[in-house]
Structure 1
Amino acid sequence: MDFITQKLEFLLRAIQTFAGGYAAVMLAMMGYHFMTKNRQKIDEAQDGVKNIVIGILIVVGAQMIVAWIKG
């Protein structure tokens, strides 16, 4: 059972790392688009930030699952 727990924790950490890195890069890109004067880019940036917040919540959820598995 300990082997399964370790593999599941490794998988969740990998998802967390990938999602966190992706969120950071996308947040930087959306910040750049938000500073432009193009209204279409600003609207896209606002929608993108909403998606990034959802992604960050997924990362936090993965952290909570890992903490629960560890006990």
Structure 2
Amino acid sequence: MEQQVIQILVYIIRAVQLVALSYAALKLSIYGVGYMKKNMQKVEEAKDGMKNVAIGLVVVLGCQAFVKFLDNGISF
């Protein structure tokens, strides 16, 4: 029973990671196009957006440590 709950949690976390990584790739490509514009306001917005995407990726990929923790097993 406990292993099934852990497997469900791992599945949900991985699904969220997949969606978040896909969204991050989309936003990063949009910000990349904005970064190449000549309008300095757009360039600054793109830089800020890229920083936010990088922070989000660190958080999402940090969840991988939690998934490994769950996969290795926890004892109650």
- TM-score, length-scaled by structure 2: 0.88
- Give the aligned partner of residue 57 of structure 1: 58
Residue identity over aligned pairs, in percent, reads: 39
Alignment partners' CA distance in 2, 1:33 and 1:25: 13
| Further displaced range: 54-63 or 31-40 | 54-63
- Give the aligned partner of residue 39 of structure 2: 38
> Which consecutive residues of structure 1, in runs of 5 or more, have no partner in the other structure?
none
- Could you say which structure has the larger radius of gyration? 2
> Which consecutive residues of structure 2, in runs of 5 or more, have no partner in the other structure?
none
Query: Match for 2:34: what amino acid?
Result: H
Which aligned runs of 4 or more in structure 1 are off by greater than 2 angstroms?
Answer: none
- Give the aligned partner of residue 17 of structure 1: 18
Q: What SS does the aligned partner of 2:37 have?
A: coil
Alignment partners' CA distance in 2, 1:55 and 1:46: 14
Q: What SS does the aligned partner of 1:62 have?
A: helix
Structure number with greater CO (CA < 8 Å, separation at least 6) is 1
RMSD: 0.8
Aligned residues between the structures: 71
Alignment partners' CA distance in 1, 2:62 and 2:69: 10
